[in-house]
Structures are given as C-alpha cells and as structure tokens.
C-alpha cells in the first residue's frame, strides 16, 4: 500500500525488468522544508556563475549530440533541444512501421544500457518510442557524450 500511495512513474522511468526496486516509491519526498537546502548547498559549492557555466556546458553538449543525430543517416531527432535533454530514435532507411521502429529502439536502449558504456533512458514523443539522453551530471564531459553516441552506433 505504501508503494501504491507514493508511486508516480512517468514512462521514461518504466523498466522491462519487473524485479527492479525503486526506492523513490517507498517514502515521502525529501520533506518540503529542506528542498531549498539542496539548492543552497549547490550554490554555496559552485556559486551562481559556476552553476550557470555548468548548465551552459550541459546544454552545449546536448546540442552537439543533437547535431550528430541530425547529420547521421538513419537517426531522427524527435524534439527540440532547448536545454540538456535529447529525445531521438534510430530510423533505418526503409523502415516506416511505427511498431517496428518502437521495437528496434527499445532493443537499442536495452543493448546500450546492458553494455555499461552509457545510460540511455526512454520516453514517448507524440506517441512514438524515443531514446532519451539527459546530460546533467557535473562530471559529464564531451568525451562521455561522444562515447555514448559511439555506443548507440555500434
């Protein structure tokens, strides 16, 4: 009952593995009073200018990935990239069946994640299955994004 009461799972957090324990489903959201404390610590650690620089770097990496997707044959960008999340899918020439594209991309996400080379989540964009890369870790560098793109293409 506790899990049922706290579970709000968007499509991109669903898993094909039914044995996954998601701890977010078993407790109150961090407590309303201390939500600002997390931001305070980040601002204290990086400063407003440092945080802005990190975010700008993430956006630049996402836009570079979006450029690679748009330039590559057999790939499709599914949404604009105003921030640091990129939604895309593999679309091989001659494959137009949406169910087949959904299956192909679900297999792609599973293969990349199983390899450990990168983590790619999934979502739906206008009812179409999409791979989703969210660049937001302070340690992410351009070479990590390149490695993820290489893994998607291997």
Evaluate whether 86 touches 69 at the Cβ level (below 8 Å): yes
Largest CA-CA distance found in the chain, in angstroms, rounded: 54
Evaluate whether 102 touches 80 at the Cβ level (below 8 Å): no
Quote the CA–CA distance of 130 and 86 in Å, as a whole number: 9
Q: Give the active site residue among 12, 26, 46, 129.
A: 12
In DSSP terms, 85 is beta-bridged to 134
- Please state the three-class secondary structure of 76-141 as a single string: EECCCCCCCEEEEEECCCCCCCHHHHHHHHHHHHHHHHHHCCCCCEEEEECCEEEEEEECCCCCCC
Would residue 129 show up in a list of annotated catalytic residues for this protein? no
Residue 100 C-alpha from the chain's centroid: 22
Active-site residue set? 12
């Amino acid at each position: 009952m506790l899990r049922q009461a706290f579970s709000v799972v968007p499509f991109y957090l669903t898993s094909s593995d039914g044995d996954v324990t998601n701890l977010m489903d078993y407790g109150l959201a961090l407590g309303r009073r201390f939500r600002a404390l997390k931001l305070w610590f980040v601002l204290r650690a990086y400063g407003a200018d440092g945080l802005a620089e990190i975010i700008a770097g993430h956006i630049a990496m996402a836009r570079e990935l979006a450029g690679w997707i748009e330039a590559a044959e057999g790939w499709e960008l599914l949404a604009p990239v105003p921030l640091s999340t990129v939604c895309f899918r593999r679309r091989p020439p001659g494959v137009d069946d949406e169910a087949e594209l959904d299956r192909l991309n679900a297999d792609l996400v599973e293969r990349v994640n199983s390899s450990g080379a990168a983590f790619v989540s999934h979502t739906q964009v206008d009812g179409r299955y999409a791979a989703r890369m969210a660049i937001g870790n302070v340690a992410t560098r351009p070479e990590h994004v390149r490695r993820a793109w290489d893994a998607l293409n291997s």
